Chains A and B, each alone.
Chain A
């Protein structure tokens, strides 16, 4: 049989337990909007009973632990989903910027290409005309600056991506070092056996942030520390140690490579923002640049070749119309008019000394002496526009440019759709995690009532025991 003071003890334990329940509920409510917070719950159990001859007598309640409610497997899926979504997001952000370079409008490269060839066609109607010759030079200059500006924009976007890669590497390192210090804090906090829920939540959120940047995989060791590896197995965090990533500028183009120790992991990163940035920087944009350069080279070469076949108004053989692209440089970026021609329209070789090479050959065709009124080279130059001279002879110039626009368009469209899909998937997994770990206010309201009522009842119990004890003491007092 228990004692009255024993009963007071039962009441006291209950009060403390319910109070703790209220505290935890309050904490849950307070953190309802905290990212990465997992709801906590008080795990109560009956305290060890007293065994007497008439059986066990309960001694009230004990609090075993305050635990966080989480599902590690769902959290892994959130990490994975975050990585995939961040990669697509980075790609689509870049591609939307890239497509603005190629968007169709009245001042597009496509317009400049046709206007350039049209200016030769106009010149053919009156090859002696000074104003028509000047118009060829104006259109050629527009074409050149259009190529240059498109190419320069791509270079700028790529440079910007390069800076972002460096900045992501810095962020990864900073997060990794925070995680490693949390690892140590968790170990010391949990040395007494309790679970360091808050620290773990913080660490989980940092891992989540890390997974936005780079593909990470992690596991939790027995001692409560997590080890994180990035980019397919390169150790990033091991307990309290960090193996930082390094951004190393590499020749020939000075693009930053990401190193882990001595290993170049630039191309091993498969997801996260870094993967998207690297893919856009090293694959997509260079592919567009190559296409643009090829188009520029084809135009420069064919115009120059044809121009060499002509005779200018001074009776001289045509010189290079455009400056040929030097090896190793971007043809689009260095697209420019031969300054000698730019300065003197008379040097445009509009006439020819040999028969008109187009078919069907009109009759009679007595040949050409290169006289000023002869327009055959201007016609031939204008006709380059409708010949399949681009993409290895399969497309006309305007088709080749349209094909490039199509490529950029489909890539961007694909990336935008992927972002949509990945975002929806990620939200679903996050919802799944929230349904396990998130704070439900209705649930907390019910908890609040439960603990409040239990607290009130315990207090009432103590008050009754107190009354009983007082009665007992007063009885003893009168007797004595």
Chain B
């Protein structure tokens, strides 16, 4: 039979009460922090995964905000293109009127005035800015891409380049997000040359040239529509990726929560269980401590 000594009893009691209290402490920490993984050692795998998730969601959040930027840029580009297209429509109307065969020198001069207005409008559209940088300058976004040079000559030159600006929409998608002035206005037939020729032809009542330029305007419009379709497609893609990233973040956050968040019901019930255990152990100890043979000796 094993001899039982007070030191043994105390030691065993201490070991058990320490264990019970550490369970209680663990449950309390879970309840107060709302997390079941408070230290790496609580669950190294969950902690590692949670750390990776933290990094992934942070990257996704960044993509989401970059996507918003891209979308705004696309919206402004679309607005500018629409404005250019309707400006070209105006120019086509002017050309058609000039071709009607009933023009007088007064009406021609008014029509030429109108043609000059379309040039100014086009110039304003192609020099549109977004957040202080020029939309249609290629990558030379810090200076107006289309300028009249020399001033007053009516000669519009392109100072931008034909370089693409890319955006990374998610980890695997890189897209061009700009329409260059080159594609927009400089490609043949050139928008500004066409408009300037049109103006001169109207002034000179040169119907052959007016008819030729009208044809050119059609093909420029077509080009702008193609570019606008590209802008629209990009916008759609950005929207799709945006919603995919949001879904992904939700899923990641759910996984993180599953791995590291405390189940409150479970934690609270664990806490109560541990607390009951501690109370019972303490009260048993208090009672046992009183029992000794010495108490019964006269």
Contacts and interface: CB of A to CB of B under 8 A. Distances in A.
Nearest to B50: A104
B168 A399 contact: no
A413 B44 contact: yes
Contacts, number: 213
A409 B47 CA distance: 8
Contacts of B128: none
B233 to A, nearest CB: 13
Interface string B108-142: 00000000000000000000000111100111111
Contact of B161 (A356, A369, A398, A403): A369
Nearest to B176: A362
- Interface-central residue, B2, B4, B139, B161, by most chain A CB under 10 Å: B139
A379 to B, nearest CB: 6
B65 interface: yes
A385 interface: yes
Contact of B141 (A372, A376, A401, A436): A372
Contact of A103 (B11, B39, B167): B39
A1 interface: no
B55 A113 contact: yes
A121 B66 contact: yes
Interface residues on B, range: 35 or more
A439 interface: yes
A106 to B, nearest CB: 9
Nearest to A375: B165
Contact of B168 (A108, A379, A443): A379
Given A110-B54, A406-B47, A435-B2, A385 B59 contact: yes
Interface in A126-141: 126, 128-129
B175 A362 contact: yes
Interface in A95-136: 95-96, 99-100, 102-104, 108, 110-111, 113-115, 117-118, 121-122, 124-126, 128-129
A386 interface: yes
A405 B166 contact: no
Contacts of B45: 406
B8 A435 contact: yes
Contacts of B151: none
B7 A121 contact: no
Interface in B168-193: 168, 171, 174-176
B195 to A, nearest CB: 26
B104 interface: no
A364 interface: yes
Contact of B40 (A99, A362, A373, A440): A99
A468 interface: no
Given A379-B168, A386-B171, A441-B294, A122 B141 contact: no
A175 to B, nearest CB: 22
A402 interface: yes
A220 interface: no
Nearest to B15: A427
Nearest to A438: B5
Contacts of A358: 168, 174
Interface string A295-310: 0000000000000000
A403 B138 CA distance: 43
Given A32-B6, A351-B139, A371-B139, A409 B59 contact: no
Given A96-B41, A373-B140, A441-B293, A435 B4 contact: yes
Contacts of B8: 430-431, 434-435, 438
Interface in A369-423: 369, 371-376, 379, 382-383, 385-386, 398-399, 401-403, 405-406, 408-410, 412-413, 416, 423
Contacts of A436: 3
B58 interface: yes
A107 B51 CA distance: 12
A111 B138 contact: no
Interface in A14-66: 32-33
Interface in B139-168: 139-142, 161-168
Given A126-B131, A374-B163, A398 B52 contact: yes
A457 interface: no
A449 interface: yes
A253 interface: no
B174 A121 contact: no
Contacts of B69: 125-126
B209 to A, nearest CB: 33
Contacts of B164: 362, 364-366
30 contacts: A96-B41, A113-B55, A114-B58, A115-B58, A117-B59, A118-B59, A121-B66, A122-B65, A129-B131, A356-B166, A358-B168, A362-B175, A364-B164, A371-B161, A373-B133, A373-B134, A374-B139, A386-B59, A398-B52, A402-B49, A405-B48, A406-B45, A408-B40, A409-B40, A427-B12, A431-B11, A434-B3, A434-B8, A434-B11, A438-B5
Given A104-B50, A449-B297, 12 more contacts: A114-B59, A122-B62, A125-B167, A371-B142, A372-B141, A375-B167, A379-B168, A402-B52, A406-B44, A408-B44, A427-B11, A431-B8
Interface of A: 32-33, 95-96, 99-100, 102-104, 108, 110-111, 113-115, 117-118, 121-122, 124-126, 128-129, 351, 356, 358, 360, 362, 364-369, 371-376, 379, 382-383, 385-386, 398-399, 401-403, 405-406, 408-410, 412-413, 416, 423-424, 427, 430-431, 434-436, 438-443, 445-446, 448-449
